Amino acid sequence: MEKVIIIRYSEIHLKGKNRGYFERVFGINIEKSLRGVRHELRRQSGRYLLENFEEKDTELILAKLDKVFGIHSLSVGIKAPTAMDEIFRAASAVACREGTFKVDTHRADKTFPLNSMEISAEIGGRLLAANPALKVDVHEPQSVINIDVRENGTTLVFNEFVKGAGGMPVGTSGKGLLLLSGGIDSPVAGHMIAKRGMSLDCLHFHSYPYTNLQARDKVIELAKVLSEYTCGTSLHIVSVTHIQEEIHKKCNGEYMVTLLRRFMMRIAEKVAEKTRAQCIITGESLGQVASQTIEGITSSNSAIKNLPVLRPLCGFDKDEIIERSKNIGAFGISIQPYEDCCTVFLPKHPVIKPSLQTVEEEESKLDVPALVDEALKTLETMKL
């Protein structure tokens, strides 16, 4: 008998002839998440087995696998040869010594002489004989002993199905560039789009010296949180201080946020082209702040020439976003009181429903290409 962790994937089984590709990426992502932890990973007919790991690392492994997209469920169990005495030994190892239980068997190996009901009945009978304090309850048992008879001469025996992260393996849906601020929303947006299989680079805009270096460190920590779900990421950092100063000097202050967002989109598109990202991702939620009205979003979008902009939080309210932020481990970092660039030169009454014609008239007061080029010269990149 050998202790194993059984990993079952989520939507991959729907992929038909392309399933092999998704399985390979899935396996690579599992290996990346467990880098530095001793283990062996084996693919076995619609699932993966994690073997030869140290028992003391079990909780660490489960915590790491909890962040791997594509996993439908996990079980810690025992692998045994497919023979009734060996299956009983494994079932005894995972069974409770008292209370109610049932045995649930799945028999993938149709050549095994006993069917699923017969296996469950015999193993259940042996357990009752060996443990007088046990009782069978097939409707609401306190524990379940699951027996999975595989086609390769081995049987997996376990108690629980632990829910996984779900979604698709990161890297199977292309690459996106996430606009990562220091707030609550954008890390959640990145997490959600990564769950659909997209790998991520992150782009952060800063306004040093109007914002301090602690604000930058905060964003690095948020990118590190995301990297645990995305098998690593690159964080690109660009200064927009000079752009904000120019807008402040030459344009109507009520349009500061709207104009800055347009510059961010232009810079993001340039960075995306350089890094081969196929879309831009933002944490905008419709109507949440002044720049996130449909008019503001239309203004931002019109500055983009070639790439789609994905807004996975568009229909979420703040409470839903906060709950997700807490679940992914980003909330405590996001609420640290360090300002981001959007709070610099913030007008008392920012325009809520900017007309595109007026925005373009204000923007015509600026040398847009030169300001974008100057911003790109400040670009720095770090691998996380």
CA distance 133 to 262: 70
| pLDDT score for 152 | 85
| pLDDT score for 342 | 57
Supply the pTM of this predicted model.
0.90
Within the chain, what is the greatest distance between any pair of CA atoms? 88
Q: In one letter, which amino acid is 305?
A: K
Domain ranges in the chain? 2-163, 175-383
CA distance 181 to 338: 11
CA distance 19 to 7: 16
Q: Taking a C-beta distance cutoff of 8 angstroms, is the pair 292, 285 a contact?
A: yes
- Looking only at the bridges linking them, the beta strands covering 71-81 and 99-107 are unpaired
Report which secondary-structure segment, H or E, holds 191. Answer: helix 185-195
Options 3.30.2130.30, 3.30.420.140, 1.20.1560.10, 3.40.50.360; CATH for 2-163 is 3.30.2130.30
| pLDDT score for 301 | 92
| pLDDT score for 337 | 79
Gap between the terminal Cα atoms of the chain: 39
Q: In one letter, which amino acid is 296?
A: G
For residue 16 the two structure tokens come to 């038909």
For residue 146 the two structure tokens come to 């699951």
| pLDDT score for 350 | 80
Query: Tens digit of pLDDT per residue, the chain (384 long)?
Result: 899 999 999 888 888 888 889 999 999 999 999 999 999 999 887 789 999 999 999 999 999 999 999 999 999 999 999 999 999 999 999 999 999 999 999 999 999 999 999 999 999 999 999 999 999 999 999 999 999 999 889 999 999 999 999 999 999 999 999 999 989 999 999 999 999 999 999 999 998 887 778 888 999 999 999 999 999 999 999 999 999 999 999 999 898 999 999 999 999 999 999 999 999 999 999 888 767 889 889 999 999 999 999 999 999 999 999 999 999 999 999 998 766 655 566 666 788 888 999 999 999 999 999 999 999 999 999 999
Fold of the 175-383 domain:
Rossmann fold (3.40.50)
CA distance 24 to 30: 10
Q: In one letter, which amino acid is 283?
A: G
